[in-house]
Structure 1
Amino acid sequence: MPARFILRSILVLLTAIGLALGFAMPLLGHAAWQDRTWAAFAIPVLIALVYDIAVSLRRGEVGLDIVAGLSMVAAIVVGEELAAVVVALMYAGGQFLEAFAERHARREMTALLARVPRTAIRHRADGLEEVALDLIVPGDRLLVRQGDVIPTDGVVASALAVLDQSALTGEPIPVQRHAGDEVMSGSTNAGEAFDLIVSQRAAESTYAGIVRLIDGAQRSKAPMSRLADRFAMVFLAITVLIAAVAWFFTGDPVRAVAVLVIATPCPLILGVPVAIVSGLSRAARNGILIKGGKAIEALARVDSLVLDKTGTLTDGRAKVVAIDVSSGADPADVLRFAASLDQASKHIIAQTIVGEAQSRRLKLAIPSDVVETPGEGVTGVVEGRSVAVGGIRFVMSKLPKGAEHLHQPTRALGAVVVAVAVDGRLAGEIRLADELRSGTQALLDRLRTLGVQRIVLATGDRREVADAVTAGLGIDAVRSGLTPDQKVLVVLSERKNGSVMMVGDGVNDAPALAAADVGVAMGARGTAASAEAADVVILVDHLDRIVPAMEIARRSRFIALEGVFAGMGLSVIGMVAAALGYLTPVQGALIQELIDVAVILNALRALRGGKPS
């Protein structure tokens, strides 16, 4: 449990006990200790407050904490200890709420970090051993199992490796790497287990380099103050002026203390965090994890949107988009023969074809005499007929010389074609592609109505593929063939147009997510690196959740601002009344409590539905 959260919890508990104990002192026969008790239990909060003020001032920041500190010190000095402890409780309560929100958001991240490789399987003379990544050195031979994330850069030592590099490059279709080919850390083994000869230490690998980019981007990210602190200077000046005028003209320091007490910005210290925490809670119920108050404030003020392609704008998974057949052949039969044979293969494309056939409720036969050439294709017998399924070259090599290709229309850019031959004749071709998510156009239109002025696609994919995917979407700019550091530059260049939101899901998106004013990660199937770097994580695989995320953020921010202005207005009225002598410090503290309750009840509206005003 973070030390900051523990400290805030202790301070709230102490001041609550001190307030109650002070009221109990006369009943216990120790009335003389009442004021001392309240002062004693206010001092720990005052010490913590002074420390926070000193840290803020060293950073060149002036916050509302100064008003709370002045009122507590002044109340103790003039003997208004009850007012001091009430202010202390309200301040500690607001700090606790902020710490609670941050802790809650971070706790939800633990399940998303499971994908990060922390160990590797290394060959040794007498077998295999699992070792920590920092023990791996160049020259080690590792076993990379199916589904494993490659822990460091290296060279393929087996005949073939089938890798899913979508998290790094944005290409949704697995690639083949043969013996002697280099592979990047962060890729996922989508085929059979293979051996890898390590060429870089884990700390020097591609994956580690991207992590360093994330750290650098986060450090360079423009800091954003808490919403309440933006009103600190004006409110502080008004408070000091009214208190000074009251003391100067009346010569009564108690009036100045009453002004400071009622000016203590509890509606800001409490109301804003409650509205923000309520918004975070409502977002979580919608499958949206927003990491704290600064993130929800940034999400409410987005001007430009930078989108990744694979897994974000598109589904990130190959799907069957067309089946082209020879004359007289039935597309359903071609798919059924291919899927029946592919049941014997673990290749990701084969599994996709089987899944498509099952979704169409086709009855699949049990194949026999199956022979698979890894990464190329598979042959066998289905219902007594010889079938070959795989790449064009592989299938054509199984046919008699002179066999003709199908006359095909222009194939979609980025598509994969799987040929199917039955009884020595090319029966058809199954085309698979990573398609645009359904409802994308409506989503982009809705985002523009929410204030997004500019939408940019930033992808590691080829330009022609990116152009084909975005055709007709009305995207303002397309940036293709980008490396992770180039994506960061795209985000930084968009800042001239206002606050930037970046949406992505891969390792290659993580640095850009960290650099953006608000980074949004597709966490359902995205990488842990992107989820860790982002400010917002969409926990379900629905891009359209960005809309309710922005609506919730805008509504929460509006309600928080509503509480700020209402609370400040009422506090100014109370300060004037205190300056004129109509309110004592304790009465001011009680009235401030009523204002607090009203502001908090208003802030809780962020838990309920309704669109932002």
Structure 2
Amino acid sequence: MLVVTVGALLAGGVAWLAGAAVFADVCWAAGTLVAVLPAVWWVVAALRRKQAGVDLIAVLALVGTLAVGEYVAGALIAVMLATGRALDAAAERRASHDLRALLEHAPKSARRRSGDTVTVVPLSKVVVGDLLVVGPGEVVPADGVVDSGFAVLDESVLTGEPLQVERSAGDPVRSGVVNAGSAFELRAAATAEESTYAGIVRLARQAGAESAPVVRLADRYAAWFLPLSLAVAGLAWLVSGSAERAVAVLVVATPCPLLLAAPVAIVSGLSRSSRLGVIIRGGGALETLGRARTLVMDKTGTLTTGRPAVVEIAAAPNWQPDEVLRLAASVDQLSPHVLAEAITAEARVRSLVLSLPRDVVEEPGRGVRATVEGRRIEVGKPGGPLGEEPWTVAVQSRARLDGAAVAWLTVDGAVAGAVLLRDPLRRDAPRTLRRLRGAGLRRLVMLTGDRREPAQEIGTVLGLDEVRADQTPADKVAAVREERARQVTVMVGDGVNDAPALAAADVGVAMGARGSTASSEAADIVLTTDRLDRLADAMDIARRARRIAVQSAMTGMALSLAAMAVAAVGWLPPAAGALLQEGIDVAVILNALRALRGKLAGGLALAPATEQLLHRFAAEHDELRGIVPAVRDAADLLAAGPTPEVLSELQRVHKLLCERVLPHERAEETQLYPALAGPLGGPEATATMSRAHAEIERLTHRLGHHLQLAGSAGRIGPDQVDDLLSALYGLFAVLSLHFVQEEENYFALAAEPEELGKRP
């Protein structure tokens, strides 16, 4: 339609310049007719839905120009209408909401055991009480209970949590989860249609079907502009008796600021968002995002990284944490287990040299055994009871408090250490949520299938308004509907279990870089980069694009109203009115194009050299992270008594601080902070962090002074213990907080390495 109407307008213009006025009128009339037919259909379809939008004015204007012979005016309006429709079509292309990925994930058959015979049957043939065999890597076909032995399951599809779980005989298992261990037998407790996974699919379909269509910005303004335009045109005809005067009013009343300017601003916002890795599937979604007041978020993969990471390494007496990690990673480097990958990755970050394991045996649910450097090493669950040693009790206590998984290291039958892993908070999460609040969000809510304790801890750190833990997919949908009843609500998630809630929200946002296909299919917005701060960028862009669209529409309509008044008294014929309307259109479109640019609220112009520094120091943080708990562990040893072994450990920790931590802090002070001073607004922006550097150095020197006294005396004096403990625990607290603050406030500013490499 756009090509034909533009072609007809240009052909008519060429013919008119050549003196063929009749042929020019024919071309312009043809272009007008091409626009009238589909426009009438659009109006009829809208009226059936009890809606009357901008297209109705355009149809009346097009018919009016044909009736009074103002063909060039009709052709101009036809081009405007076609352009607006083309823009809307580009903005409204969106993926289907049928959640094909959910259906593709669901199994189509099951293996049923009868005696010693196993047969494959259609899923619809499974009945309650059937004994089913679930092989390694297979999806559990129906709800049931483990019949015998135990099962190792990946429940991330349903809960979003990345850590695998174990289920023993008699424990319930839900359909849709994946068997991450060896084959097990399941006693069906429900048919496939009545099982958990089928319920999620139904939830997603219902939620998507119940979502009301978005009322676009242009149609909302047309609701009052349309009757006003008709009233002015009718009054002009009634008073003057001239149909041409009424048509002139309709020509200048043609809502091109609504047909063109608003869509141009919105499409400009869509284009700008896509350059940042935010794919918005329609102008309606962008407009709604700009009006959002409530943000509901999943935890795993959204606020956290979605991958387990090593958070602490505990060592038995006479063992060092790095040696514990090195041996564990040596065994785990051949394992595909998600925890093994995290342990191996941490060892590589710390530049530990791994040994090649021999005689590797992996037992699902238990761990990995191998021979390393002539010693028999086991990583996973301990082979026997842990006993009541203080350090093992402390590890178990920390794991419970933090919601962490523990991989125990056993060397030749004796427990030598433990590696604690959990899903860490995203570095950019706190800063992003602060930006979102600044952008107008009034309420931040977290929904998670995780336990309350770790969920509440994250909620406290991030300052969330509400945290709901132990949430099923149905619970999440209910929560989103509850929030949506009060305010325009955005839901962010990344898993299959989030898909129904994404479909239920006013705007669903999927973390698409590593999220499930199902969540991306159900979402209105997909973040293609694994960065939560892109959502804040998208909201900034959405609010600016919507503000410019409103500004352009209101300005254009005000000018149109003025032109309508002039046309109503007979001072503006239809053709001149069409040209004047074109001038108004050009002005408001140029204004709408401002949505393509503009500074983002959280955007900082960082030089490439500064970003390289940020990446360098972030990597150093990863390497130094193991020193922080070593400071606390040394303090714990000292608290138990100032033995010669404690003095040796304190000397080791002091050496690490002097040789690794202090040089890092001094380099930040002299290189990184000056580079950040400009973008952040001056040296005062980094003053707090500089004060932390000074405190770290002061406490390190204080520790060194005590060690000099102890070294000359050959022991730690009783009068030194309290001050040493104060210095050590103070160092641990300051280092822990300082590392987190730098990561959140500074390191999160840098682009991802792959993004940095694409810049000119």
TM-score normalised per structure 1:
0.87
Q: 1:316 to 1:219 in 2, by over 3 A?
A: same
The answer as to 2:327 corresponding to 1:337 is yes
Give 1:487's match in structure 2, choosing from 446, 467, 476.
476
The answer as to 2:247 corresponding to 1:257 is yes
Deviation by residue 1:23-42 (Cα, 9 ceiling, x = unmatched): 45568997545434433332
Contact persistence 2:494–2:519 (CA under 8 A):
yes
Residue 390 of structure 1 deviates from its aligned partner by 1.1
Show the counterpart of 1:533.
522
Counterpart of 1:19 in 2: which secondary structure?
helix
Mean Cα deviation higher: 114-123 or 494-503:
114-123
Q: Which ranges in structure 1 are unaligned for 5 or more consecutive residues?
A: 1-10
Q: What is the letter of the counterpart of residue 493 of structure 1?
A: E
Show the counterpart of 1:7.
none
Show the counterpart of 1:472.
461
Give 2:502's match in structure 1, choosing from 507, 510, 513.
513
Contact persistence 1:160–1:374 (CA under 8 A):
no
Contact persistence 1:213–1:485 (CA under 8 A):
yes
Show the counterpart of 1:290.
280
The answer as to 2:262 corresponding to 1:272 is yes
Show the counterpart of 1:117.
105
Give 1:572's match in structure 2, choosing from 541, 561, 569.
561
Q: Which ranges in structure 2 are unaligned for 5 or more consecutive residues?
A: 603-760
Give 1:406's match in structure 2, choosing from 392, 408, 427.
392
Aligned length: 594
Q: 1: CA distance between counterparts of 2:370 and 2:428?
A: 40
Q: 2: CA distance between counterparts of 1:116 and 1:155?
A: 24
Q: 2: CA distance between counterparts of 1:551 and 1:130?
A: 53
Higher relative contact order (CA 8 A, sep 6+): 1
Residue 204 of structure 1 deviates from its aligned partner by 5.5
Q: 2: CA distance between counterparts of 1:51 and 1:459?
A: 46
The answer as to 2:438 corresponding to 1:438 is no
Contact persistence 1:18–1:38 (CA under 8 A):
yes
Contact persistence 2:511–2:527 (CA under 8 A):
yes
Contact persistence 1:267–1:596 (CA under 8 A):
yes
Q: What is the letter of the counterpart of residue 394 of structure 2?
A: Q
The answer as to 2:333 corresponding to 1:347 is no
Counterparts of 1:96-495 in structure 2, within 5 Å, are 96-103=86-93, 105-106=94-95, 116-117=104-105, 146=137, 161-177=151-167, 183-191=173-181, 205-391=195-381, 394-396=382-384, 406-408=392-394, 410-411=397-398, 412-495=401-484
Q: 1: CA distance between counterparts of 2:79 and 2:136?
A: 56
Q: What is the letter of the counterpart of residue 406 of structure 1?
A: T
Show the counterpart of 1:4.
none
Residue 278 of structure 1 deviates from its aligned partner by 1.2
Q: 1: CA distance between counterparts of 2:140 and 2:38?
A: 46
Counterpart of 1:369 in 2: which secondary structure?
strand
Counterpart of 1:310 in 2: which secondary structure?
coil
Q: 1:25 to 1:270 in 2, by over 3 A?
A: same
Show the counterpart of 2:679.
none
Q: 2: CA distance between counterparts of 1:378 and 1:233?
A: 68
Residue 13 of structure 1 deviates from its aligned partner by 2.2
Contact persistence 2:134–2:140 (CA under 8 A):
no
Q: Give the CA RMSD over aligned residues.
A: 3.4
Q: What is the letter of the counterpart of residue 566 of structure 1?
A: T
Residue 602 of structure 1 deviates from its aligned partner by 1.9
Show the counterpart of 2:746.
none
The answer as to 2:59 corresponding to 1:69 is yes
Show the counterpart of 2:46.
56
Residue 170 of structure 1 deviates from its aligned partner by 3.1
Deviation by residue 1:272-296 (Cα, 9 ceiling, x = unmatched): 1111111111111111111101110
Q: 2: CA distance between counterparts of 1:593 and 1:541?
A: 44
Residue 257 of structure 1 deviates from its aligned partner by 0.6
Q: 1: CA distance between counterparts of 2:234 and 2:260?
A: 26
Contact persistence 1:505–1:530 (CA under 8 A):
yes
Q: 1:402 to 1:50 in 2, by over 3 A?
A: closer
Counterpart of 2:301 in 1: which secondary structure?
helix
Mean Cα deviation higher: 595-604 or 560-569:
595-604
Residue 330 of structure 1 deviates from its aligned partner by 0.5
Residue 129 of structure 1 deviates from its aligned partner by 13
Contact persistence 1:119–1:130 (CA under 8 A):
no
Q: What is the letter of the counterpart of residue 307 of structure 2?
A: R
Contact persistence 2:403–2:422 (CA under 8 A):
yes
Q: 2: CA distance between counterparts of 1:256 and 1:536?
A: 44
Q: 2: CA distance between counterparts of 1:390 and 1:612?
A: 46
Counterpart of 2:198 in 1: which secondary structure?
helix
Residue 529 of structure 1 deviates from its aligned partner by 1.8
Counterpart of 1:581 in 2: which secondary structure?
coil
Q: 1: CA distance between counterparts of 2:49 and 2:333?
A: 62
Q: 2: CA distance between counterparts of 1:451 and 1:118?
A: 40
Q: 2: CA distance between counterparts of 1:130 and 1:24?
A: 72
Q: 2: CA distance between counterparts of 1:90 and 1:597?
A: 11
Residue 610 of structure 1 deviates from its aligned partner by 2.2
